[in-house]
Structure 1
Amino acid sequence: MPPKASSGSSTSFGPLTKSIRRLYRLIGFSKTYNLWLWLVLGGGLFTFSAARLPNVHFGNLCGSVREGGVDGVAPGECFYYLQPGRYQIGIVLHLACILPAGLLACLQFVPGLRRRAPRFHRISGYAIAVLSTLGSAGSAMIVRRSMGGTLDTQALLGVLTTAFLVSLYFGYVTGMRMQIDEHRTWMLRAWVYSGSILTLRIVLVFAVISISLTGGYYSALPCGKINFIKKSENATLASYPECAAFFSGEKPELHAVVEATVFNRDAVQMAAAINQSFGMSGWVALALHVVCLEFYLRYTSDEGERLRKMYYPRRVALGLEKPLKASTSDGLVNEKAIANGDSTKKLE
């Protein structure tokens, strides 16, 4: 008789299966793909926000001002952020508000936390709405100079900010009206749209490398910004002699044409490559997020229907919706169907 197959493989997966089930129960997800989506997308947003949080302090954001320090932003961006006024206030307001909002938003999508601590979910939601609005205002203050301030970048940030705030507004309104199915849809839209800034950075890497390999791409940078990166008038004039009129004071806003490449290990050329690619990368990332989200919402439409039915009796009890009469062909009302939020079910 042949020996029996060893059961060691199934036994070895026992503790792993139990651990996964405990994680399911703790977090509250009922479907595997939702858990993994939250871990990947929510975890990515949480990690990004937490990693960037130290940049709220100017010593970390613009560390190059001290000996041996490194900036926490793209080369040359601190040329504007270190100038007292609109851009300095804008970047601090943006980071100090939107990063905590991103951290809290990740917790909002944990089903177990929503069920066990509904009050925390509501209070956190109000805080996120306020922080997001202030953070978006800060973004609007710096958009003219951010990542080169090109028209495609300004348009991108304008559309992204508008879509984000509009989605948050409808999410807030539908939440107050107990339309939880719509609340879920709009809040997903808000944070999936904003999450495109992570995908933007991935696309940006490929875009910068691509234009560097192709060659022939150039960007106009202010001589003041070039000098800030070079940290020396002589070094600036050696590479860009056309900036002489800037240093003489004849043309304070003079720009110089810079080759966009990352292969020469020149910070000015790296800044030009990033500025040249940023807007395009953002549009690609936003389009990917919009399309994928709408597919996901259609794929999980049954979840929206479940929420609508679940909260229908509560909406009726609070006077937010008039009771619907579920009538049969005989004119009889199916009260059980109404209680379940289904006004189309016939009485059997």
Structure 2
Amino acid sequence: MCCPLGYGVLFCLIVGNICGSIVARRSFGGELNVQSAYYILGIMVVFAALMGVYNVKKDTRRHRKWMLRMVVYFATAISARVIMAAASKIVSVIGTYYSIWRCDEVLNLLTDPQDVQSWFPQCVTAGVNPAAVWVAVHAASNGGPLYFASSVRAVQGMALWIATLIHVVAVEFYIHKTESANQVRDGFVLEPLDYSEDSATPY
């Protein structure tokens, strides 16, 4: 990573993670398992990036390892979305899962007064503050916007933690399996231990 570009990426990464940490407080209902997953993931990404930049001129092999970790950790959110999409369908089929919602969130998605009165009467009781009352919403991906959102909220934290575990194990496995092929530095490239300039393939 060239120094100006590398420092620029690191700066944007830190700013992005700070903003993401702020949003995590409310993301998918702001449940603690979701918040903790986002915060831990942000720390992992920034730490790996800092270690990569620190080793860029000291040890190319360590720099490579930390940059690989950073990129793979950063991609965890993508895998989490895939897991979340599958898991929300599964919990909907099981049919016994719920997530907790504030009444003002329910009223934002469930606009029919009769439906609100039928399913969540505590949200429309006279004198009730909708922002201070919580209700359980059935997780059902085929039951309308509110129930679909509930199915996503119910599995979001689990999806993040499973994706994080998968990515951590996968990148360490890859680093271990490719260790022998990244021993000798030739310019900006790492080559196997038996590499010599005479054996290099001309381009």
Which TM bucket (shorter chain)? 0.7 to 0.9
1: CA distance between counterparts of 2:10 and 2:47? Answer: 11
- Give the alignment's TM-score, normalised by structure 1: 0.51
Maintained 8 Å contact 1:148/1:275: yes
2: CA distance between counterparts of 1:253 and 1:188? Answer: 45
**Structure 1 gap segments, 5+ residues each:** 1-107, 109-120, 312-339, 341-348
Could you report, residue by residue, the CA deviation over 1:242-295 in whole angstroms, capped at 9, with x for unpaired residues?
1024x735453211110011122x111111111110111111111111111111
Maintained 8 Å contact 2:99/2:137: yes
1: CA distance between counterparts of 2:160 and 2:14? Answer: 21
- SS where residue 219 of structure 1 aligns? strand
1:28 corresponds in structure 2 to: none
Equivalent runs, 1:1-348 vs 2, <5 Å: 121-175=2-56, 177-231=57-111, 235-245=115-125, 248-250=127-129, 252-264=131-143, 266-307=144-185, 310=186
2: CA distance between counterparts of 1:122 and 1:234? Answer: 61
2: CA distance between counterparts of 1:252 and 1:200? Answer: 29
- SS where residue 96 of structure 2 aligns? coil
Q: Which residue identity lines up with residue 98 of structure 2 in the other structure?
A: Y
**Highest CA radius of gyration, 1 or 2?**
1
Maintained 8 Å contact 1:212/1:262: yes
1: CA distance between counterparts of 2:54 and 2:111? Answer: 51
1: CA distance between counterparts of 2:3 and 2:113? Answer: 55
| Cα RMSD (Å) | 2.0
- Normalized per residue, the structure richer in strand is 2
**Structure 2 gap segments, 5+ residues each:** 188-195, 197-203
2: CA distance between counterparts of 1:301 and 1:291? Answer: 15
Maintained 8 Å contact 2:52/2:66: yes
Q: 1:191 to 1:253 in 2, by over 3 A?
A: same
1: CA distance between counterparts of 2:152 and 2:161? Answer: 14
Maintained 8 Å contact 2:102/2:130: no
Q: Which moved more, 1:251-260 or 1:211-220?
A: 251-260
Shift of 1:123: 2.4
Shift of 1:149: 1.3
Shift of 1:238: 4.1
2: CA distance between counterparts of 1:235 and 1:215? Answer: 20
Shift of 1:237: 3.3
- SS where residue 252 of structure 1 aligns? helix
2: CA distance between counterparts of 1:137 and 1:233? Answer: 39
Aligned length: 188
- Give the alignment's TM-score, normalised by structure 2: 0.84
Maintained 8 Å contact 2:10/2:49: yes
Could you report, residue by residue, the CA deviation over 1:281-319 in whole angstroms, capped at 9, with x for unpaired residues?
111111111111111101111233123xx47xxxxxxxx
Q: 1:190 to 1:267 in 2, by over 3 A?
A: same
2: CA distance between counterparts of 1:293 and 1:284? Answer: 14
Matched-pair identity in %: 23
